[in-house]
Amino acid sequence: MIVEQIWTGNDWRNFNYLIACPDTGEALAIDPLDHEKCLLHAQDQGWDITQVLNTHEHHDHIGGNAAMIDATGAELLAHKNARDRIVGIDRPLSAGDVIKVGSTVELEALDTPGHTMSHVCLLSHTDQQALFCGDTLFNAGAGNCHHGGHPNELYMTFSSQLATLPDDTLVYPGHDYIISNLQFTLSREPGNTDAEALRDDLLDQDPGNALVTTIGLEKAVNTFFRLRHPEVIEKLREDFPDLPAEPDEKTVFLKLREIRNNW
């Protein structure tokens, strides 16, 4: 499996992706908002884009569909419940569906509600798994729930699907927000030396050549995976004095999401 992370350089800081089969040159484009950059890269590599997948229905993820499909004739895949919000879905996806790219690549669709209620992530069936997570999980952060999502479902997705992935799973999110997310982690957990060192390392990172994190690294630096950490809880209790000394993970997640909304 070949993965190309394409930095759009736009104001929303989107990452687009091409996933290609090295044997056949067939490729799948994830959320190709910058269809020109995606097409150019595919042409350079001699790849044939046969599928477009939308992780969810927001404009900065589907805005390149029409031009990309016009240029390639690719099939469009998205969550089955996005049918009335994304025009022209050829293949509606449910949890567990397998998407083949060429002869060597298999990607599994995960049903991951929270950022919106019709959001899919893709998990590669490779030795070292890779997760393409749209706006559900960001490097060092979590998606918001302002435009059609629900924090309860986002928590369930994190706890029951993302946190259970192997530590070496590669994380490919839909946006580059890593610096501000690390700053948020540090605001909740000033003693997190891993997050501090990573923030210092990445301050002048070129997003065109971005660090690819893993689930293991996320568990060290992403406050939304650190729901039992004493410093996280202690600081939350300063903001919410009614919080018990040993709050459940869901309560901690929801409070962190609430604070992040206005941070």
**Which residues of the shown chain bind Zn ion in the complex (CB under 5 A)?**
58, 60, 135, 174
Looking at the Cβ atoms of 1 and 82, the one nearer to Zn ion is 82
By residue count, the chain amounts to 263
Pairwise CA distance, residues 52 & 72, whole Å: 10
Q: Identify the CA nearest to 6 among candidates 38, 44, 31.
A: 38
Looking at the Cβ atoms of 60 and 153, the one nearer to Zn ion is 60
Looking at the Cβ atoms of 60 and 194, the one nearer to Zn ion is 60
CB of 3 to Zn ion, least distance (A): 19
Looking at the Cβ atoms of 64 and 174, the one nearer to Zn ion is 174
CB of 139 to Zn ion, least distance (A): 14
Burial 60-99 (b: 16+ CB within 10 A, else e): bbbbbbebbbeebebebbbbbbbeebbeebeebbeeebeb
CB of 116 to Zn ion, least distance (A): 7
Looking at the Cβ atoms of 21 and 162, the one nearer to Zn ion is 162
CB of 15 to Zn ion, least distance (A): 9
Looking at the Cβ atoms of 41 and 58, the one nearer to Zn ion is 58
Work out whether the CA dihedral 151, 177, 226, 216 comes out positive or negative.
positive
Looking at the Cβ atoms of 33 and 105, the one nearer to Zn ion is 33
Distances (CA, A) of 180 to 149, 184, 227, 260: 21, 6, 19, 11
3-state secondary structure of 249: helix
Pairwise CA distance, residues 126 & 114, whole Å: 26
How do 15-20 and 26-30 pair as beta strands? Answer: antiparallel
CB of 117 to Zn ion, least distance (A): 12
CB 104 within 8 A of CB 1: yes
CB of 147 to Zn ion, least distance (A): 7
CA angle 112, 75, 88 (to 5 degrees): 75
Looking at the Cβ atoms of 60 and 249, the one nearer to Zn ion is 60
CB of 168 to Zn ion, least distance (A): 26
CB of 106 to Zn ion, least distance (A): 25
How many Å from the N-terminal Cα to the C-terminal Cα in the chain? 38
Give the list of residues 6+ apart from residue 8 with CB closer than 8 angstroms, or none: 14, 15, 16, 33, 34, 37
